[in-house]
Structure 1
Amino acid sequence: MAYVTDPDRRVLVAVDMESYSGRDNVLQHRAQLAFREVMAAACGELGFDRANWLIQQGGDGELAILPPETSERAVVTRLTPVLDRLLREHNRGLSSEARIRLRVGVHEGPVHLDGANGYPGDAVVTVCRLVDSPQLKAALRQFPGAAVALIVSDRLYHDIVRQYQDLRPEHFQQVTARLPEKNFEAAAWIYVPGESVLAIDVRPDLLGSASDQPNDGGGGGGVDRHGRGPHPQPAGGGQVFQDIRSRGIGAFGNGNSISVSGRPEDLDSWGSPR
C-alpha cells in the first residue's frame, strides 16, 4: 500500500451555477464561457493568483483549492460582492434563461494534493456539500434579484466574519446545511449581497423544492416558497402579507388573534397565540 503523505491546509472554494441543466446546448456553452470570464475578472480585480489555483472543473462550476498564501479574509468577505457586481453587469439585458447566478461555498481544512483521482479530504467533501445544500439553493431562489449567494462554514464565520467585520455579521443567517441522502449535516452561515437574509425561511418542510429552479433573474415579483409560483407584489405602496392565518371575523380587529408564522402549532385550541 502506498504511503499517504501529509495533507496541506488550504482555503477551498466551490462554485455552482443555478439552473444549468435546464439550458439547451448553446446556452450551456455560453454559460461556461461567461463563468470562466467572470471568475477570471473577479480574481484579477482582487489580486488573486488564479493561475495557481488547483481547479477541478465541472460543467456548471468548479472546486478550487487556493494557494497557501491566499488571504482567507479576502476570499470570505470580498469575492462574493465582486462576483455579484460583475454578474449583474453581465446579466443586464439577457433573457431569464441566459442569465447566470452562482452559489459559492467557502471552507478551509486539510486536503491531499496528490490524490489519484481528485483531492481527498473531508474539507473538500464539506465545501461541496455546503454549496449543494438545499438551504443555499433556497436562499438564492428566494431572492430573484440576487446574482450570488454565499455559504461559509461555521469556523470561517467565527474566525473571519465576526472578528474583522468587513461584512456585517448580522447580515449572515445561520443555518444547518443538510443533505440527508449524503448523510451530511453541518452548521453554516449564508450571505446574499444586498439582501436581508434574516428573511430566509429554512424550515425543513419548506425546502422540499429547493433544487435549482429557473427564475426571472431580476427584481420584481417574488417567489412563493410553498411552490405555487410567483406571488403578487404591492402596488402604490401597499403591503402583501404572507404566511398569516387568522382566527375569527376581522382578525386584525380588537379581541382577535393571528399566527404570523402560519404554523398551526403556534395557536392553542382557542386560536390564541402561544
Structure 2
Amino acid sequence: MTINCRGKLIDLSRPKVMGILNTTPDSFYDGGKYKNDQAILQQVEKMLKEGATFIDIGAYSSKPGAAFVSEEEEINRLLPIIDLIVNRFPEILVSVDTFRSSVAEAAVLHGASIINDIAAGFLDEKMLSMVAKLQVPYIMMHMKGTPETMQSLAFYEDIFKEMMYYFSERIAVARSYGINDLILDPGFGFAKTLEHNYQLMQHLNYFQHLDLPILIGVSRKSMLYKLLETTPEHALNGTTILNTIALQKGASILRVHDVKEAVECITILEELKK
C-alpha cells in the first residue's frame, strides 16, 4: 500500500509516524509552545531525527469549545511556518490539518504534501474538488457536526455500521472527483463517548475491509487521561499502549506528539512479525 507525496512513493506496508506541530495557542496539549522560528525548527528537526515520515501542522484547534479562527487568520498562521520548515528541510512531507479548501490550496502551493480534513469535505463543499485539483493525498476523518457541536451528537444505533456507511459514501464521492490517494481516520474523540472510542479501538481491524490506509490519532487525548484520571501531560504511557494495539489491528499511520515512542512501537512489532 503506497501513497504519492509530491512524486515520492511512500510505502505504508511498514507503518509510518506523523509528528504533530500545533501552531494554535489553544491546542489541548501543546498550545502556544512553539512561539518563534527557533522553537519551531528545533521541534521539527527533533521529530524528523526521531523517525517521523510526516509533520502535521494545524492552525485551527478542533477541540470542543475552541475559538473561531477566520480563513485569513488560519492562512496567515500557517504559511510562514510551512515556508520556514520547507526552506530548512526541503525533503519534508508536510500534512496540513484544515477543513477549508482555500487554506488547503494555499498550503500546497507553499509546499505542503497532504491535506488532513477532520470533516471529510462536509464543512466545505469545495474541498474535494480542490484536493483533486491539487492531486495530493487526502486524509478523511469521521466526525458528526462541527467541533462546536460534535459532543452533543455522540449517539449511534450501530457505530460501526454508521461509520462504514459514512466512509463508503465519502470514498465514492472522492473517487468521483479523481482523488487517488485516500487515508481514513476513525476520528477518536470526535462525536464519540469514552465507550465509543474503546469500542472502535477494540474492533479497529473492521475498517480494513475498506482496503485503504488507516491513520490513528489518540495521542494524549481525553479517552486516555479521563479513563486514567490524569492529565494530557501524563498520558504518554497510555498513548503508547493504544498505539501498539492500533498497529496490531492494522493502523498504517500513527499521528502523535511523541515521535520516538511511536517509532519504537513500530520497530518492536515489525521485529515480532519476522
Give the TM interval when normalised to the shorter protein.
under 0.3
Higher-RCO chain (CA-CA 8 Å, sequence separation at least 6): 2
Q: TM-score, normalised by structure 2?
A: 0.27
Q: State the structure with more CA Rg.
A: 1
More helix by percentage: 2
